[in-house]
Homo-oligomer: A and B are copies of this chain.
Amino acid sequence: MNNKTAIAAWDELLGSENVITQDSILETNETATFLTKAKICAILRPSTSVEIQKCLKIANQYGVPVYPVSSGKNWGYGSKVPTGDGCALMELGKMNRILDFSEELAYVTMEPGVTQRQLYEFLQEQKSRLWLDCNASCVESTLVGNTMERGFGHTPYGDHFAQVCGLEVVLPTGEIIHTGFGKFPNAAAAPVYRWGLGPYLDGLFTQSNLGIVTKMTFWLMPAPEYFQAFFFSVSEDHQLADLIDALRPLRLDGTIKSAVHIGNDYKVLCALRQYPWQEAKGVTPLPTEVMAKFAQDWDFGAWNGSGGIYGTKKQVAEAHRLIAKALKGKVRRLQFLDDRTLKIADCLAKPFQKLTGSHLPELLKLMHPVYGLMKGLPTDSQLASTYWRKKSPIPEKPDPDRDGCGLIWCAPVAPLLGKHAAAINKIVRETLLKYNFEPQQSMTLLTERVLDCIITIGYDRQVEGEDEQALNCYQELMETLTKSGYYPYRLGIHSMKTMGKGEDNYNQLLRNLKNMFDPNNILSPGRYIPENSQVVSKLDEI
């Protein structure tokens, strides 16, 4: 490694305004929502694929690794902090061009720096009838970054990696390739046909460190004639399994096309307000009776779900009927809302509150962003919940990294069966409560057959000992979940060792791939692919 020489070379290449080495800025970028140790030697801000190529050449030459992020809003999984020490952080935010767009074929091609807000505004400007699928992170998170981590959203296009096509990738050794039909410079179907010709390579570049994606086509959803959201809840925790089993047939037969999200009482309360220190008399985790009081006052259940229905008026009406039929007797409440009824509710909320003392205005404030997400409207609303355990109020411009918000996410995947939901829920409750954290959980019916759970370990980094406590809790949670067969869909920078579990041959294949793509190990070392200097010759093993 030769940091100084490498930095000087990058400086010459990108200009000093795009190579940051100021200690205070580096420190900010070394801060995540949990305890991390990796230091960065510089921040690089390239503007083009060619600049990235040259940056990587320098990295190879001087043996200084590079760690790319798009906007780096990877909260709960490590923010911008690299998996290994001594990397140059490469921010791709300056590469934020929208390169191609087709209203007819419903797609958009873009660079990695394009944010959800930017794409949303672009579609508005174009007066487009197309909707994007947002993740709930924040408006400034990027579409490419989220998709590379195989993140998900809320509409029928919720499984993001299943809705993209045609990558431009800068390989660690500096070559640029175009995947799918993109390898043929004139292929008409390049932005619409995923598989291309010959082996399909796109998957190699997700959750890996085998290349830097600099261009990607996203398929967009045509806005339906009519949209309706449905909200439902069950009173008791043990009703979760039945609820999941009631929804599965509707997901499997396509009546529900969207990624239905179901959050538990803790998740709802965290979205509604910060920790009730006063009511809880300063005690953590939240006493059961305090939660019960809130649930009664605010009228939410042990599990609370939402989903979208998309189609013509008649298509929506039929889905509405089938959902109501399937959930009859299984939920305490089932509400359908559309643009019109939501507007009416908004108007009536305040007078209704005066009359009855209900919390309708606050609940509506919570529902609006959820409703919007199902229509492709990005939101910052979820950021507030990262301040759950903070004793200071939520600032106007939240920044969980800066403000010492403690947040670790764990995201196990299970088959879409009630018994698996119940098993995960049991593990989560027991483990988090044991470590003094509220078991905040949501479960997403991501595809026809899959349940994706997001477990939040939320705490205050400024309380001494909590950083360690949270990591220990995560560790035990992950071990219990994986022993029970529930593996995560995605990893945080602190938990990459989970990748090393399982089949030796498979792990060795990953290492061989890494070695082939990146012989000097200069791209995001340790990210998803287990590191091991000893590459066994496979032929010797037969």
Q: Which residues of A contact B (CB under 8 A)?
A: 53, 56-57, 60, 104-107, 150, 156, 161-162, 171, 173-179, 181, 183-189, 191-193, 195, 197-208, 210, 219, 222, 224, 248-249, 252-255, 257, 310-312, 314-315, 318, 321-322, 413-417, 420, 447-450, 482-491, 498-499, 501-503, 505-510, 512-513, 516, 519, 528-529, 538-539, 541-542
Given A106-B448, A506-B183, A199:B188 Cβ within 8 A: no
In whole angstroms, how far apart are the Cα atoms of A353 and B172 in the complex? 70
Complex partner residue of A257 from B162, B219, B254, B498, CB under 8 angstroms = B254
Does B315 lie within 8 Å of A171, measured CB to CB? no
5 of the cross-chain contacts (CB-CB < 8 Å) are A171-B509, A175-B541, A185-B502, A188-B414, A193-B489
Chain B residues with CB under 8 Å of A519's CB are 539
A420–B195 CB distance below 8 A: no
- By beta carbon, the residue of chain B nearest A104 is B417
Across the interface, do A538 and B414 meet the contact criterion of CB distance under 8 Å? no
Residue of B whose beta carbon sits closest to that of A184: B502
B-chain residues with CB within 8 Å of residue A529 when the two chains form the complex: 198-199
The verdict on A203 contacting B206 (CB below 8 Å), with A188-B486, A195-B489 known, is: no
Verify B203–A207 contact, CB threshold 8 A. Answer: no
Closest 10 pairs (CB-CB, A-B): A200-B203, A192-B449, A188-B485, A199-B208, A174-B542, A175-B505, A183-B502, A184-B502, A183-B506, A173-B538
How many copies of the shown chain assemble into the complex? 2
Scoring A219, A310, A505 by chain B CB atoms within 10 A of each residue's CB, the highest score goes to: A505
Can you add 12 more A-B contacts, CB < 8 Å, to A174-B541, A199-B206?
A105-B417, A156-B254, A171-B505, A173-B542, A175-B505, A177-B505, A188-B486, A192-B449, A200-B204, A203-B203, A222-B249, A519-B539
B487, A187: Cβ atoms closer than 8 Å:
yes
List the B side residues contacting A509 at CB < 8 Å.
Answer: 171, 175, 177, 201
Bound complex: CA A480 to CA B67 (Å): 44
Q: Which residues of B contact A312 (CB under 8 A)?
A: 318, 322
> Given known contacts A188-B420, A192-B416, A420-B188, is B206 in contact with A506 (CB within 8 Å)?
no
A227 CB, nearest partner CB in chain B, Å: 12
A529 CA to B197 CA, complexed, in Å = 10
Given contacts A175-B509, A184-B502, contact A449 B318 (CB under 8 A): no
Determine the distance from Cα of A503 to Cα of B106 in the docked complex, in whole angstroms.
26
Bound Cα distance A234, B509 (Å):
53
Chain B residues with CB below 8 A from A189, complex form? 413-415, 450, 485-487
Q: How far is the CA of A502 from the CA of B53 in the complex (A)?
A: 20
Q: A506-B177, A516-B516, A529-B198 are in contact. Are A219 and B448 (CB under 8 A)?
A: yes
| Min C-beta distance of A362 to chain B, whole Å | 35
Judging by beta carbons under 8 Å apart, are A183 and B503 in contact? yes
A266–chain B nearest beta-carbon distance, Å: 24
Contacts of A512 in B (CB 8 A): 516
Q: Indicate the member of A414, A485, A491 with the most B CB atoms within 10 Å.
A: A485
Among B178, B199, B249, B490, the residue within 8 A (CB) of A204 is B199
Q: Which of A179, A206, A311 has the most CB atoms of chain B within a 10 A radius of its CB? A: A311
The answer to whether B542 and A188 have CB atoms under 8 Å apart is no
Q: Determine if A485 and B187 form an interchain contact, defined as CB atoms under 8 angstroms apart.
A: yes
List B contacts of A202 (CB < 8 A): 200, 203
Closest to A540 in B: B173
Bound CA–CA A187/B450 (angstroms): 13
In the bound assembly, the distance between CA atoms of A311 and B311 in angstroms comes to 14
User: Are the C-beta atoms of A200 and B193 separated by less than 8 Å?
Assistant: no
- Which B residues touch A174, using CB under 8 A? 538, 541-542
